[in-house]
Amino acid sequence: MSINRRNFFKVLGVTGVSLTTGTAIASRPEAGESETEFCGILYDSTRCIGCQSCEYACAETHGLPEPTEFPDPAVVRKTDETRRMVINAVTTDDGEIYVKKQCMHCNDPACGAACLTKAILKTEEGPVIWRSRKCMGCRYCMVSCPYDMPKFEYHSANPKIEKCDMCFDRVKEGGIPACAESCPAEALTFGTRRELIAEARKRIHDNPGQYVDHIYGEHEAGGTGYLYISPVPFEQLGFDTSLQKSSYPALTKEFLYAVPAVFVLWPAMLLGLQQATKNNNKNDHQNE
């Protein structure tokens, strides 16, 4: 096996999927078996100029309305059913800087584990996509996503889940996502996760003082496809840094593993009890 695969497991291992649960569950063994690596996008907020080119490109590519608001430090814009990504301006220790928000394309996505119809799927290429033919609109993906990214068209009789799909249609054809393509400042880099982490390290290393030494998304939520580097600590960019470092689906693994056990043990136990108490009736009547 090539170094790729070893690296893949290393990433997974470090993210703690297997460490914290004590059982060796590689979250996506299929992906581990194949040679493919997840793709992702590196967002460098020191380079972003807040021009919203990516937002326009995203809206156009996915047939959504053009953005009407501009980045403004006074408002925190959120993605919703009409926009899959937003650029926000934030006031930080380092002055006003920009930050992009969209689905993080987690390595082991909570939304995907939540979905009972596999409508949400972590593709081998890396994008986490939603498929309308499967979805039944239960919104459990929304409940589970730690970033609150799947959005629902509440005002439609045929509602869709809206969220960034990392332009899967382009990516699977070997293309790159519309936002990354449109960025004039090279703030968005598309590539394999491994390459992107190496690139991010390099930038942090080569430019002392310019970045905080933290690649957001390397470990958060078990590792995400989107990676961020920033000149200020990530709380200031509105990131929830209290998110756990291991993957979210790991939280339900114990329960799911218990299910087959209960299915075997319970009936046997119940039958035993039933047999044992069968003749107790008469005594019961006298005692009570």
Partner 1 sequence: MSKSQALYRDNDGQPVIKFILSELKPRGKWLTPFNIISIPVMLAGLVIIIFRFWYGIGAVSNVTQEVPWGLWKGFNVVTGVAFAGGAYVLTFMVYILNMKQYHSIVRVTVLNGFLSYLFYAGALILDLGRPWNIVNPLIGNSFGVSSVLFLVAWHFVLYMIAQLIEFSPVIAEWLGAKRMRKILAGMTVGTVILGITLSTLHQSGLGALFLMAKEKIHPLWYNEFIPILFFVSSIFAGLSMVIFEGSISQRVFFNHISEKNLQARNNIVHGLSKVCAVAMFAYFTLQLLVFLHGKRWDYLDTPLGYWYLTEMLGFVLLPMILFFVSYRKMNINHIKVAAILTIIGIIMNRLNVSIIGYRWDAAVRYVPSWMEVVVALTVVFTQIWIFRYIITRLPVLRDPPDWAKE
Is position 136 an interface residue for partner 1 (rule: CB under 8 A)?
Answer: yes
Q: With CB under 8 A as the contact rule, which of the stretches 37-45, 64-72, 94-102, 264-272 interacts with partner 1?
A: 264-272
Q: Are 120 and 129 in contact (CB under 8 A)?
A: yes
Which of 94, 153, 181, 195 is close enough to bind partner 1 by CB under 8 A?
Answer: 153
CB of 120 to ligand SF4, least distance (A): 5
Each residue 67-86 as x (binds partner 1 by CB under 8 A) or -, in order, gives: -----------x-xx-----
If the CB atoms of residues 19 and 243 are measured against partner 1, the closer one turns out to be 243
Q: From the list partner 1, ligand SF4, none, which binds 263 (C-beta under 5 to 8 Å, kind-based)? A: partner 1
Among residues 161, 197, 200, 232, the one that binds ligand SF4 under rule CB under 6 A: 161
- Binding partner 1 by CB under 8 A: which of 2, 68, 281, 286? 281
Three-state SS string over the chain comes to CCHHHHHHHHHHHHHCHHHHHCCCCCCCHHHHHCCCCCEEEEEECCCCCCCCHHHHHHHHHCCCCCCCCCCCCCCCCCCECCECCEEEEEEECCEEEEEEECCCCECCCHHHHHCCCCCEEECCCCCEEECCCCCCCCCHHHHHCCCCCCEECCCCCCCCEECCCCCHHHHCCCCCCHHHHHCCCCCEEEEEHHHHHHHHHHHHHHCCCCCCCCCECCCHHHCECEEEECCCCHHHHCCCCCCCCCCCCHHHHHHHHHHHHHHHHHHHHHHHHHHHHHHHHHHHHHHC
Specify the stretch interacting with ligand SF4 by CB under 6 A; choose among 41-49, 114-122, 179-187, 210-218. Answer: 114-122
Q: Which does 106 bind (CB under 5 to 8 A by kind): ligand SF4, partner 1, none?
A: ligand SF4
Q: Which is nearer to ligand SF4, 126 or 231 (CB)?
A: 126
Residues that bind partner 1 (CB under 8 A): 78, 80-81, 110, 112-119, 132-140, 142-144, 146, 148, 151-159, 240, 242-244, 248-249, 251-252, 254-256, 259, 262-263, 266-267, 270-271, 273-274, 277-278, 280-281, 284-285, 288
